[in-house]
Amino acid sequence: MYDKSDPRSTLTTNKAAGPAATGLIAEPQVALFYDEAPQLDDANGKTWLQRGNNFVLAYSEAAEGGIFERTGQPDEYAVILSDPDQSARITAGGETVDVPGFSVAFVPPGDSTIEMPKGGALVRLFSVKSEDLAALCSNANAYDQPRAHIPPFTPWPEPPGGWKIRHYSLDVPKEPGRFGRIFRCTTFMINYLDLQVGPRDITKLSPHHHDDFEQCSLAVGGAFTHHLRWQWTVNMNDWKEDQHVFCKSPSSTVIPPPVIHTTRGMEEGGNQLVDIFCPPRMDFSLKEGWVLNADDYPMPKQA
């Protein structure tokens, strides 16, 4: 359910979808990085780790000159640099690339190093194939009981240009009919939403749900309230009270399917949210012009 001014109102939906099946495991995962101890704390900085069904999110407050290494990384991972004044030097696959602040980058499998010359906020996104990181998460055991309604993680096709470090500026102007600033790789879709200044208009919210994939909402500026409503099933034991989860920045909230959700920015200043999906969303990918690096990363053939 979207306001007519929301570009998502043009998405194709499954009109035949019925009520949620019974017995679904649909618990949100909330990590308040500003209010919780980090899972890693060393000379390179502090790192908080949270997982979803298919992914691991690592949020780091990097020390000046901090170095973050991966050895034998099994698949491509993503990097978000939200501060325009910071930068990262990424080495992987025999190349070294200086990535400016306010960018997203995708790092190929294998050995890699991220150096943060000025320190600052560093977000890395890994699939659950990075089992060592999944084991360190604050909610490491949250998915011990399988989510049968979420398909197993399957990567999207490899880039036709081969594996290399790719990075993209987030300084992208708004465009009528396009939703946010969307980039994808083989493992993730990142939507760096348009900055919301002031509290969101309560007459133009967007309650909706996803049938079979999680949404990770990463707050990197301001504060948000995630409004969550559980659909009724034929089994009343599945029913839950609505939740209204307030999160300042930095924080991460993983919203499970098929929970109805909408999020409202709360601060008078800027409220910045980043939506993350693993693997990429097909419906967003099918919208012409929405994925800004679509030429670099093809969709699956069945699309």
Nearest-angstrom CA–CA distance, 116 and 123: 12
- Residue 8's pLDDT is 81
d(CA 117, CA 86): 8
One-letter amino acid of 46? K
pLDDT reading at 52 higher than 90: yes
Facing residues of 95 across strands? 92
The arithmetic mean of pLDDT across residues 249-272, rounded, is: 97
Rounded CA separation 175/271 (Å):
19
Amino acid at 224: F
Task: Quote the pLDDT of residue 13.
Answer: 60
In the predicted structure, residue 118 carries a pLDDT above the cut 80: yes
Q: pLDDT, tens digit, for every residue of 74-98?
A: 999 999 999 999 999 999 999 999 9
Q: What is the mean pLDDT of residues 191-206?
A: 97
pLDDT of 108 higher than 90: yes
| The two three-digit tokens of residue 203, written as one number | 């007459």
* CA 253 – CA 219 distance, rounded (Å): 8
Q: Coil, strand, or helix at residue 206?
A: coil
Do residues 218 and 274 lie in contact, with contact meaning Cβ atoms separated by under 8 Å? yes
- Any idea where the domains of the chain sit in the sequence? 7-285
pLDDT-derived band of residue 117, with 50, 70 and 90 as boundaries?
very high
Cα 65 to Cα 38, 70, 88, 89, 161, distances in angstroms: 19, 17, 10, 10, 31
Could you please report the per-residue DSSP string of 72-85?
Answer: EE-S-EEEEE--TT
Rounded Cα distance between 142 and 52, Å, is 8
- Taking all residues of the chain, what is their mean pLDDT, rounded to a whole number? 94
pLDDT computed for residue 303 by the predictor: 66
Average pLDDT over residues 153-178: 97
Q: Beta partners for 97?
A: 90
Q: What pLDDT, on the 0 to 100 scale, is given for residue 241?
A: 96
Per the omega criterion (within 30 degrees of 0), is the bond before 279 cis?
yes
Can you give the pTM of this predicted structure? 0.94
C-alpha–C-alpha distance, residues 230 and 8, integer Å: 21
Q: Is the pLDDT of residue 99 over 70?
A: yes
Tokens of 303: 């699309």
Whether a cis peptide bond, with omega within 30° of 0, leads into 160 is no
Report the distance separating Cα 176 and Cα 195, nearest Å.
15
Comparing 18 with 59, the larger pLDDT belongs to 59
Taken in order 173, 165, 163, 185, the sign of the CA dihedral is negative
pLDDT > 90 fraction of the chain, expressed in percent and rounded: 87
What is d(CA 80, CA 190) in angstroms, rounded to the nearest whole number? Answer: 9
pLDDT score, position 302: 78
Rounded distance between C-alpha atoms, residue 189 and residue 182, angstroms: 7
Q: How many beta carbons lie within 10 A of that of residue 303, not counting itself?
A: 9
pLDDT at 12: 66
Q: Quote the DSSP letter at residue 197.
A: E
pLDDT at 16: 45
Residue 192 has pLDDT above 90, yes or no: yes
- Pick the closest to residue 103 from 47, 56, 165, 146 (CA basis): 165
Query: What pLDDT shows up at residue 5?
Result: 75
Whole-number Å distance between alpha carbons of 118 and 173: 27
pLDDT (tens digit per residue) in 222-244: 999 999 999 888 888 888 999 99
pLDDT at 20 over 80: no
Give the pLDDT confidence of 21-31 residue by residue, as tens digits: 677 889 999 99
pLDDT, residue 297, reads 98
Domain 7-285 belongs to what architecture? Sandwich (2.60)
CA distance 235 to 233: 5
